[in-house]
Chain A
């Protein structure tokens, strides 16, 4: 199954009953799968919207009405959705946004890239807010993370971004949905259902009184702090004896894994830290790794975006190497192996004696 279809199937199994989207490559299979699949789900809603802006606002409407709702797109379309994502965060409404990103800026191309890291991890739209960003690195992990995305969105009442790329969306891999249980139930005492038998409710983000707006911002900030405390997810591979640690996520992490396998065959002690949540970022894991390891190698399919977070996490410790390929170029594991190997030998030559 391709990643886009697996994403859609997992979302439906996770209780998503509303999908709104606008066609854009390389994630069209997602919307197409939903169009067919949601026909089988009673009361479900599929709308091919007139624009990305309309789609995210339909998500907002469905969310405030109490449904599990999502939209998906790729980089240029995600830019258009930022208005609605900001409103979801401000209104404290759940929603899941999938970005199968591509080369940019501007129209860019339709080839896989990790060009939207900073946009995704810094809120993306206007205002002082963050979204949890989940970065799967296989089709199976897309399927595993979709229920997590919906649960986190409901738990924190905040939009959650699933950040893949064109490669993950298009790639065919075996996938199992057996681990997805029935959707978790959340108490939704904020949704609009009509005021029958209860006081009327209003959902808004306009707060003319600056004191009220500041308090609202601090309330959101405390929520983001809770996410930072509780929701950091990452994976470490071969980290125990490592002398150099590669930090990479998503598709780049898979390429890195291939490169590391070759490096290990030559007895070069290279490990991997793979952030699964890009926000909150696994700062502590990286800082702790710096106690034993001095060399960090950041690899991204962009010109250096997560690099900033790695540098911030290290608080000046360690030595950071970087290799990035923007524009939709997918480096091979062999290419990356050569680059890492060169950096490894240059940095650790002295220690090796």
Chain B
């Protein structure tokens, strides 16, 4: 029998801690595949976040560091400036990147730091139990917006790709999703593209990944995937937001 697929070489033999139907597991796998395919296993350094993605260092079989909540871009900046030959990226969630770490993300992007951010947007604080995130949609119910998010009280969801696109330091920004096979293939290409921009030195790169969180959305896994297409992408349209010549 022909073997058509196996565990990526750069994922350690460990059980994922992610909930059933969580998009993080797909993102984690895609990164491992891309780093391997780009032959960067010996050069990659991942900065892990605080949040659902924080245990990625238990899975990636390359160098990893855990950062304080929101500080991924600053830590990655320190590493990359000392080791410009390495592939340095941070893995961050929506609260991490767009709330507590907004300053670090924005200014790393503005300086055009040659780092990449893999930004997993599932619209909630997952690890702490589903509180409202900066990317929570209007009317979306969370544990801290029990009547649904309102623009008057909580403001509008933040579109980070579009926010960062106005900065000349950014060279590649794309929003993708991991809710269906075609989208996952697109997401993988985007991650590779972001890394390519970093390695060629064109500027700061980020891939925003819309990712299902069935547990905190209180949905079945299939409904959660469908909700991304039917609702979430209306606020967060998929596609390349910015791409400089590389």
Q: Point out residues on A near B: beta carbons under 8 Å.
A: 17-18, 20, 45, 47, 49-51, 53-55, 57-67, 69, 83-84, 87, 91, 192-197, 200-206
Counting chain A CB atoms within 10 Å of each CB, the highest count among B60, B61, B71 belongs to: B71
Q: Which residues of A contact B63 (CB under 8 A)?
A: 192-195, 200-202
A57 and B42 contacting across the interface, CB-CB below 8 Å: no
Known pairs A54-B103, A193-B63; A59 contacts B78 (CB<8 A): yes
B57 and A65 contacting across the interface, CB-CB below 8 Å: no
B66 and A50 contacting across the interface, CB-CB below 8 Å: no
The 8 A-B pairs of least Cβ separation, nearest first, read A61-B78, A196-B42, A65-B82, A57-B74, A204-B66, A50-B107, A58-B78, A62-B78
Distance between Cα atoms of A206 and B48 in the complex (Å): 11
Which bucket holds chain B's interface residue count? Answer: 35 or more
A57 and B83 contacting across the interface, CB-CB below 8 Å: no
Q: Which residues of A contact B61 (CB under 8 A)?
A: 195, 200
Distance between Cα atoms of A59 and B74 in the complex (Å): 9
Q: Is B218 an interface residue (CB 8 A)?
A: no
CB B28 to nearest CB in A, in angstroms, measures 14
Q: Which residue of A lies closest to B87 (CB)?
A: A194
Residue in B78, B80, B87 whose CB lies within 8 Å of A57: B78
Q: Is B54 an interface residue (CB 8 A)?
A: yes
B76 and A195 contacting across the interface, CB-CB below 8 Å: no
Q: Which residue of B lies closest to A83 (CB)?
A: B68
Q: Which residues of A contact B43 (CB under 8 A)?
A: 194, 196
Interface residues of B, dominant DSSP: mixed
Q: Which residue of A lies closest to B107 (CB)?
A: A50
Interface residues of A, dominant DSSP: mixed
| Given A49-B74, A54-B103, A205-B66, 13 extra CB contacts under 8 A | A47-B77, A50-B103, A54-B74, A57-B68, A58-B74, A61-B65, A61-B77, A62-B78, A63-B78, A65-B78, A83-B71, A192-B64, A194-B87
Distance between Cα atoms of A311 and B150 in the complex (Å): 56
Known pairs A45-B82, A193-B86, A195-B42; A61 contacts B76 (CB<8 A): yes
Distance between Cα atoms of A69 and B48 in the complex (Å): 21
Q: Is B235 an interface residue (CB 8 A)?
A: no
Q: Is B227 an interface residue (CB 8 A)?
A: no
Counting chain B CB atoms within 10 Å of each CB, the highest count among A50, A59, A83, A197 belongs to: A50
CB A35 to nearest CB in B, in angstroms, measures 15
Distance between Cα atoms of A84 and B87 in the complex (Å): 23
- 7 residue pairs bridging A and B, Cβ less than 8 Å apart: A18-B78, A50-B104, A57-B67, A60-B71, A65-B83, A84-B71, A193-B86
A51 and B103 contacting across the interface, CB-CB below 8 Å: yes
Counting chain B CB atoms within 10 Å of each CB, the highest count among A57, A63, A204 belongs to: A57
A64 and B79 contacting across the interface, CB-CB below 8 Å: yes
Known pairs A83-B68, A194-B45; A204 contacts B57 (CB<8 A): yes
Q: Which residues of B contact A50 (CB under 8 A)?
A: 103-104, 106-107
Q: Which residues of B contact A61 (CB under 8 A)?
A: 47, 65, 74-82
CB A227 to nearest CB in B, in angstroms, measures 24
CB A15 to nearest CB in B, in angstroms, measures 13
A200 and B78 contacting across the interface, CB-CB below 8 Å: no
Binary contact readout B165-205 vs A (1 if CB under 8 angstroms, 0 otherwise): 00000000000000000000000000000000000000000
CB B66 to nearest CB in A, in angstroms, measures 4
CB B32 to nearest CB in A, in angstroms, measures 12
Q: Is B27 an interface residue (CB 8 A)?
A: no
CB B54 to nearest CB in A, in angstroms, measures 6
Distance between Cα atoms of A30 and B114 in the complex (Å): 27
Q: Which residues of A contact B158 (CB under 8 A)?
A: none
B68 and A84 contacting across the interface, CB-CB below 8 Å: yes
B71 and A53 contacting across the interface, CB-CB below 8 Å: yes
Q: Which residue of B lies closest to A63 (CB)?
A: B78
Q: Which residue of A lies closest to B82 (CB)?
A: A65
B42 and A69 contacting across the interface, CB-CB below 8 Å: no
Q: Which residues of B contact A17 (CB under 8 A)?
A: 82
Distance between Cα atoms of A51 and B47 in the complex (Å): 19
Q: Which residues of B contact A91 (CB under 8 A)?
A: 65-66
Binary contact readout B33-70 vs A (1 if CB under 8 angstroms, 0 otherwise): 00000000111110110000011011011111111100
B74 and A67 contacting across the interface, CB-CB below 8 Å: no
A54 and B107 contacting across the interface, CB-CB below 8 Å: yes
Distance between Cα atoms of A55 and B103 in the complex (Å): 12
Distance between Cα atoms of A261 and B45 in the complex (Å): 58
Q: Which residues of B contact A202 (CB under 8 A)?
A: 57-58, 63-66
A192 and B65 contacting across the interface, CB-CB below 8 Å: yes
Q: Which residues of A contact B62 (CB under 8 A)?
A: 194-195, 200
Distance between Cα atoms of A234 and B77 in the complex (Å): 38
Q: Which residues of B contact A54 (CB under 8 A)?
A: 71, 74, 77, 103-104, 107
Distance between Cα atoms of A53 and B106 in the complex (Å): 14
Counting chain A CB atoms within 10 Å of each CB, the highest count among B57, B74, B103 belongs to: B74
Distance between Cα atoms of A193 and B80 in the complex (Å): 10
